[in-house]
């Protein structure tokens, strides 16, 4: 990979909201709720904490407050 390209790792296209993904915000909220239920049932595993970190990154990009969910 050349040095002048930007890194495309975890959330490189999170802030793009184009017409083919109308429900991107709604799906992120639904995913967050599902992960919260799993945390209550399974406890705080490393996989769940990483998944929650990704969803919270999306919320920051979409400017969604997690306290209002």
Q: How far is CA 26 from CA 17, 32, 42, in A?
A: 12, 10, 24
Q: Does 65 score more than 70 pLDDT?
A: yes
User: What's the pLDDT at 41?
Assistant: 96
Confidence of residue 52 (pLDDT cuts 50, 70, 90): very high
Could you state, in order of their start, the residue ranges of all structural domains in the chain?
A: 21-64
User: pLDDT (tens digit, 9 = 90+) per residue, 8-37?
Assistant: 666 656 666 555 566 888 888 999 999 999
In tens, the pLDDT along 35-51 reads 999 999 999 999 999 99
User: Do the beta carbons of residue 39 and residue 52 sit within 8 Å?
Assistant: yes
């Amino acid at each position: 990979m050349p040095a002048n390209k930007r890194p495309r790792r975890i959330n490189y296209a999170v802030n793009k909201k184009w017409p083919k993904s109308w429900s991107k915000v709604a799906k992120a909220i639904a995913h967050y709720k599902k992960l919260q239920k799993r945390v209550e049932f399974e406890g705080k595993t490393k996989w769940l904490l990483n998944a929650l970190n990704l969803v919270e990154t999306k919320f920051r990009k979409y400017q969604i407050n997690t306290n209002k969910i």
